[in-house]
Amino acid sequence: MLKRSIFIGHKARITTRYEQLVIETDERTGNIPIEDLGFVVIENQQTYISIPALNKLIDNNVAVIFCNEKHLPVSMLLNLDSHHTQQEIFANQIKASKPLKKQLWQQTVKKKILNQAALLDRLGRTGHPLRFHASKVLSGDTTNREAMAAAYYWKHLFDFPFVRDRHGGFPNLFLNYGYTILRAAVARALAGSGLLNTFGIHHRNRYNAYALADDIMEPFRPLVDAKVLALIKQYDTQELTTEIKSALINITTETVYFDSYKSPLMVGLQRVASSLQQCFAGTRRKINYPGLWN
């Protein structure tokens, strides 16, 4: 089921009543069924949200994303008890062997590079060098083909000189916001399949609570890149406006393509997470990653 995403940009009071999220602002009061929600982004620093409202959202596997004083997403809340065989799934994930993790990372990097190539092709630029790199990805990506592909990809993606910077200005600011929303969407799907976001297959950082989400989101980054390119053309601004934020939040409704069907990204991520869970359980060998374009 496709869930709704809501953005709280003005001062608001958020409570719950009769399984509804009640949002009160100075102008009006509105109710939204909590079961219809997938993401709640709270940007305004003066927003109040009650503990019962947070508990209801978490019980329904809604990702609640909080922004800082610079209006950028900095944290999120997720359900840690969302699957009926939670303990078994945790155990399978934690005891996963290094060879299995390396194979899963190989699949992930290869799919990411192929999706980058597909985007360059759509833009009228050649993605052939990237497909060559994808064909050479080894288990664990020990030769770092991901970085080689990235150097070519970023050089040819924009029509102007560009350096990728996690803390940079335009257009990095657009990219970073979109990646944060994507990360939250992936983390939500993983949690919904009973997986621990803390334990990644490649990313390892003692301070990173979402290492697995950082791994699994990699093949989907070009979807954000394509959206940012479209927004740059649509809006004549280098500022991260409310309209641009809303468009980036709605990245979760973009269509992705599996072998025999298509679905919104939000729904597709659930299938990806489920296939990863099966890989950890030993009943499947490959993550079911979709293509980003038909």
Give the model's pLDDT for residue 187: 93
* Residues 111 and 218 grouped into a single domain: yes
* Residues 135 and 212 grouped into a single domain: yes
Q: 28, 43, 77 — which closes off a domain?
A: 77
* Domain contains 270: yes
Q: CA dist 136 to 1, 157, 274, Å?
A: 37, 22, 27
What tokens appear for 52 in the block? Answer: 């019962």
Average pLDDT of the segment spanning 17-44: 94
* Residues 152 and 218 grouped into a single domain: yes
* Residues 108 and 168 grouped into a single domain: yes
Percent of the chain with pLDDT strictly greater than 70: 97
Return the residue matching tokens 């509804």. 20
* Residues 10 and 117 grouped into a single domain: no
Give the model's pLDDT for residue 34: 95
Mutual orientation of helices 265-281 and 172-192 as an angle, nearest 10°?
A: 50
174-212 pLDDT, tens per residue? 999 999 999 999 999 998 898 999 899 998 776 677 899
User: How far apart are alpha carbons 253 and 240 in whole angstroms?
Assistant: 20
Peptide bond into 171 cis (omega under 30): yes
Mutual orientation of helices 242-249 and 221-234 as an angle, nearest 10°?
A: 150
* Domain contains 293: no
* Domain contains 286: no
* Residues 46 and 71 grouped into a single domain: yes
Q: Which CATH number goes with the domain that contains 42?
A: 3.100.10.20
21 pLDDT more than 90: yes
Residue type, 223: L
Q: Which CATH number goes with the domain that contains 268?
A: 1.20.120.920
Total structural domains within the chain = 2
* Residues 92 and 73 grouped into a single domain: no
* Domain contains 292: no
What tokens appear for 237 in the block? Answer: 């601004």
* Domain contains 288: no
Q: pTM for the full model?
A: 0.89
Residue 287: count other Cβ atoms within 10 Å of its Cβ: 22
* Domain contains 174: yes
* Domain contains 287: no
Burial grade of 36 (CB within 10 A; 0-12, 13-18, 19 or more): middle
Q: Which residue has the higher pLDDT, 260 or 223?
A: 223
Give the model's pLDDT for residue 207: 65
pLDDT tier at 73, thresholds 50, 70, 90: confident
* Residues 42 and 155 grouped into a single domain: no
85 pLDDT more than 80: no
* Residues 234 and 110 grouped into a single domain: yes
Q: 50, 77, 104 — which closes off a domain?
A: 77
Q: 41, 60, 77 — which closes off a domain?
A: 77
273-286 pLDDT, tens per residue? 999 999 999 999 99
* Residues 111 and 257 grouped into a single domain: yes
Q: Which domain holds residue 183?
A: 86-281
258-270 pLDDT, tens per residue? 998 999 999 999 9
* Residues 53 and 97 grouped into a single domain: no
pLDDT tier at 61, thresholds 50, 70, 90: confident
* Residues 9 and 138 grouped into a single domain: no
Average pLDDT of the segment spanning 85-110: 93
* Domain contains 129: yes
Are 110 and 137 spatial neighbours (Cβ–Cβ below 8 Å)? yes
83 pLDDT more than 60: no
Q: CA dist 133 to 149, 158, 180, Å?
A: 6, 20, 27
User: How far apart are alpha carbons 191 and 27 in whole angstroms?
Assistant: 35
